[in-house]
Structure 1
Amino acid sequence: MNGFEKRRQEKKEAIMFAAKELFKLYGYNKVSIAEIAKKASVSQVSIYNFFESKENLKNQLLKTLWEDYYQTIMSILNSTDTIEKKIESFFYTVAVYSKNYSINFIAESLRSQLELEENTTEMQLGKIKQAVASLIEQGKQEGVIKDTITTTAMMNLIDMFRFYMIHNPLAGLNYDQNPQLLDELISLLLTALLV
């Protein structure tokens, strides 16, 4: 990559970072192109040159955020870590991702991705669920996950945690102010699942 291409890529990344931060703080509808340009230290024309519109910028950002989340989750579930460590890392990743983005932006992300990617995101969600269910089954066979509770019930518990984190914006604030609280919640979840 030559110097021009490198500067161009850095400018595009600065725009996406600025948009992500502003959308997180204020929501998509309350942020203008001018505010994004100011935060990214670029001209509004640069944003239009890269993305054509605020909507396209949002869609590209959502696609990038979802892909990062998906890759992170799958790398955890496919790692060589112990089952206990994989489950713990999974819960922390879900919590951190949800806490780092506003509820509206996350919900919009999932809706937009489901519409834009023609079932790619839905397939990825299915892969995550299948990988988690397989991990639970493997854990039961190895004796590290309780075999007295069905995998379906455990998956429901995991879904409740994910739903709670995404749809409760105060949770993120509580965990920022008291990180031990998130540790305790995840400890409770692990106690429910692990032997």
Structure 2
Amino acid sequence: MSTHLNQAALEQLFINARSHSAWQARPVGDDIVQQLFELMKMAPTSANCSPARLVFVRSEAAKAKLRPCLAEGNVEKTMSAPLTVIIAMDMRFYEHLPRLFPHADARSWFEGNDAAIEATAMRNSTLQGGYLMLAARALGLDCGPMSGFDSAAVDAAFFPEGHVKSNFLVNLGYGDASKLFPRSPRFDFADVCQIL
């Protein structure tokens, strides 16, 4: 774990990577989808709780179900994306802790504690969505994360059982760099960081 990634890898993951809204007409195959998950699942979550649940929206039928849930400004870029991932969170994630975290009775930390369940599910599913985007970039894909959608409508359409809730969406594919805006400014270290 002590090897420093080379500059090309850092540029692909962070420095040159952009959020895309326009896409090339290139499909994202099942093999890449599987690889994304296999990489994402290895990254850390608290007590290995792994609350993220993923729906990969690719078919015309699935896109038709997602379309009315989207904010107007997100319709075209999502419908034209080869793949859209619904990053959701299982509010019953703690039921799997005896398997995922057998070192302690972690399930008891959450049973009956709605505030802890909600905070843990949101925090860790968001982390897992971030890991998924880094995995996608590592595999040569571009990402377009967004939160402009009706979460209640997405939940009704894709998670009718009721205990899985949508967190955010990520369009995936091969971006059309000719449609990118200039990169927006970023903070300098001294603006937002302290070393104490």
User: Scaled by the length of structure 2, what TM-score is found?
Assistant: 0.28
By percentage of residues, which structure has more helix?
Answer: 1
What TM-score do you get using the length of structure 1 for normalisation?
0.28
Report the structure, 1 or 2, having the larger strand content.
2
Higher RCO, Cα 8 Å, sep 6+: 2
